[in-house]
Amino acid sequence: MEFHFDLIEDKVEFFEAIDLKTLEKNINKQIEINKAIMLTVHNVSHQMHIDDKGRLFYSAVVHFKAKK
């Protein structure tokens, strides 16, 4: 029996929340999890939307890359 392991080199994750504090908390939690698999933050993109009822909605995309 032969095992073959491939390292994750790139990973993109999407986050959403109704306030910035929650969004930041969720992202920071995932950063800590991804450190265990040797991934660091490469890029972060975020947006704020206002829905039809005037409520704010925040989203972010975080690109993780393997440490070199």
Q: Which domains does the chain have, with CATH numbers?
A: 11-66 (3.30.1660)
**Strands lying side by side in the sheet with 10-17:** 10-17, 56-66, 39-50
Which pTM was predicted? 0.84
Q: Which residue carries 């491939």 as its tokens?
A: 6
Q: 2-56, pLDDT tens digit by residue?
A: 887 788 899 999 999 999 999 999 999 999 999 999 999 999 999 999 989 999 9
DSSP label at 38? T
